[in-house]
Amino acid sequence: MRDFLANITTRLGVLKGMLPLSRAAAARDALAGVQLASMDIPQVLGYARIAGMPAVTGLYTVFLPLIAFAFFGASRHLVVAADSATATIFASRLSTMAPASSAEYAALAGMVALLTAALLFIARIFKLGFLADFLSRTVLVGFLAGVGVQVGIAMLGDMVGVPGHAARSVDQLALVVRESAQINLPTLVISALVVVSILVCKRFLPRVPVPLIAVVAGIAASDVYGFAAHGIAVLGPVAGGLPPLRMPSVTWQQMLDLLPVAASCFVMIVAQSAAASRVFAERYQETVDTNADLLGIAAANAAAAFSGAFVVNGSPTQTAMADRAGTRSQFAQVVFAVVVVVVLLFFSRYLQYLPHCVLASIVFTIAIGLINLQTLFSIRRESPGEFTLAVFTAAAVVLIGVEHGILVAVALSLLRHVRHSYRPHTMVLVPGEDGIWVPVAAAPGLQTAPGLIVYRFGADLFYANDHFFVDDTGGLIDHAPSAVRWFVIDASAITDLDYSAARSIGEFCETLKRSGIEVIFARVNQYLRSDMDRHGITPVVEARCIFSTLHEALHMAGVEQPGKHVKEAL
């Protein structure tokens, strides 16, 4: 029977994240799923708060969306549910279109989820899982840090009992400071107690579900002591029962306005989900199928859209929580969804007594967790330039908003890559102290030997860096200690040559030849040789001056027994 199910799932491409599953593994995952539910239910309630949605919709995100991903996804570990990053992205835009927690707001949130599902499905069709690679880890760390700061500031009002809310982080912080005289002392004390308890237990007792304990204790204390009568804000009536299934109803104009929001969520989902699934797949020596996961997350977001929830994401933090709980397949997430059904049917009415400050404090600790100081310090120590990019991204998120911050993050990731290609490392072989030629950074005045320069360009040649190539080599030749007769180009790092670069290189070679300088190409691979032939560079240089090894090129330049001079590190 087990082999039959495995054969069917292989053919249909479903349940990859669940099967094969033995009885022992099912029992283990069932227990882990219950433990995960105890830790994660308070968090998804907090994510609903971040999203500006009714608290119960947080529970909706861990019902049908969880089951949809378990059916269509491939990762055995990824937890697809509400997430602070995506919740912040769409809430920052929707808050300007409708009142938070209103029916119109919920419809807009559902449409964002549906549009995001459509984008993810398109990405699956065209196998665009590689897009995750365009958001560097450095910039992602900065982005999440910015989200953490923004969410933390957004929760301050509820944590101290100050009424009012501002859309921008700077305005919200100013509001709390300006209205500090209205701080509710009991609210502040409860918030401080919850935050300290969660952070301390996270450090020393990580398996204790402190957020769940805080929620249960807050509800009980609120009911017994009447928190609402003492000025402590509570959630109020919460709809119970299973989520209603319906299509989000918005206008065409609203749908068009929501497309950029869905695109931002799409980018974050692809980046975070791929990163999380890869990390845990590598930990357990499992294969990664990013494109199948895209289909699973698309199905999860479609389920969220039709069940009154909001955008769901493959959350790295919740996936880590699931791993700590002992989950090893998506069967644990199905059990998690069953626990949520029990809560929705029998316990949702008790949520009306939950104090806002308890929920805000839980979210605040989640926000703190997004600021990975250890990684930021590591980046600063290893690469100050990348640290600057991370900090700039975080500042952009806080100052201009999450929706634009994710675009800044993608742009910075791409610009950093382009910058490396635009001004790559270049080197020249020069005699070392022991007479052996060693590579050093190219600079005017360096020469390999009298009449000879061996030059290496560290990237593909294209329209943006061809002028740098010409200027760099021209400076070496013009400032050489003796007249250059042979100019050897080590092309080992060049695998591609576009039309614009080919024109520049061709003109460069013709100019040198008119000046009596022989240009020799060394370490030319088959791809570069094909481009040189196609763009007409081979006739200019002459085929006799193109070699697949550096030793052959040096031999043509008159270097006898080049192996005695050249250090193979180049």
Question: pLDDT tens, 248-295?
Answer: 989 999 999 999 999 989 988 887 787 677 767 766 778 778 888 999
430: enclosing H helix or E strand = strand 426-431
pLDDT value at residue 87: 87
Q: Give the whole-angstrom CA distance, residue 559 versus residue 48.
A: 72
Measure CA of the first residue to CA of the last residue in the chain; give whole Å.
58
Q: Give the whole-angstrom CA distance, residue 463 versus residue 470.
A: 12
The residue that leads in pLDDT, 191 or 1, is 191
pLDDT value at residue 276: 72
Question: 469: which residues sit within 8 A by CB, 6+ positions away?
Answer: 457, 461, 501, 504, 505, 508
| Six-digit token string for 472 | 């760099």
Domains of the chain (ranges plus CATH)?
A: 2-417 (no CATH), 423-564 (3.30.750.24)
β-pairing, 437-441 vs 452-457, is unpaired
**Where does residue 451 rank: exposed (0-12), middle (13-18), buried (19+ CB within 10 A)?**
middle
The residue that leads in pLDDT, 364 or 421, is 364
Backbone φ and ψ for 566, nearest 5 degrees, come out as -85, 130
Q: In which band, very low, low, confident or very high, does the pLDDT at 569 lie, cut at 50, 70 and 90?
A: very low
| Six-digit token string for 328 | 């090893």
Q: Give the whole-angstrom CA distance, residue 347 versus residue 515.
A: 87
Length of the chain: 570
Helices (H), 227-312: 252-283, 290-306
Q: How many CA atoms lie within 13 A of 453 on its CB side?
A: 34
pLDDT value at residue 208: 81
Q: Give the whole-angstrom CA distance, residue 43 versus residue 361.
A: 11
The mean of the pLDDT values for the chain is: 85
> Structure pTM?
0.70
Residue 184 has pLDDT above 80, yes or no: yes
Q: Give the whole-angstrom CA distance, residue 493 versus residue 67.
A: 47
Question: pLDDT tens, 443-452?
Answer: 999 999 999 9
- Please state which of the ranges 226-240, 296-310, 498-512 shows the lowest mean pLDDT: 226-240
Question: What does DSSP assign to residue 330?
Answer: T
Whose CA is closest to 47, among 60, 36, 34? 60
Residues paired with residue 431 on neighbouring β-strands, in sequence order: 437
Strands in 20-112 per DSSP E: 80-81
Question: pLDDT tens, 427-438?
Answer: 999 987 777 888
- Please state which of the ranges 215-224, 333-342, 498-507, 529-538 shows the lowest mean pLDDT: 215-224
The residue that leads in pLDDT, 468 or 240, is 468
The residue that leads in pLDDT, 484 or 135, is 484
Residue 10 has pLDDT above 60, yes or no: no
The number of beta carbons lying within 10 Å of the beta carbon of residue 217 is 15
Average pLDDT estimate for 54-64: 92
Residue 136 has pLDDT above 80, yes or no: no
Helices (H), 126-209: 137-160, 169-178, 185-204
Q: Do residues 162 and 183 make contact, with C-beta atoms less than 8 angstroms apart?
A: yes
Q: Give the whole-angstrom CA distance, residue 246 versus residue 243.
A: 9
Question: 444: which residues sit within 8 A by CB, 6+ positions away?
Answer: 475, 476, 478, 479
Q: Give the whole-angstrom CA distance, residue 170 versus residue 195.
A: 23
Q: Do residues 300 and 121 make contact, with C-beta atoms less than 8 angstroms apart?
A: no
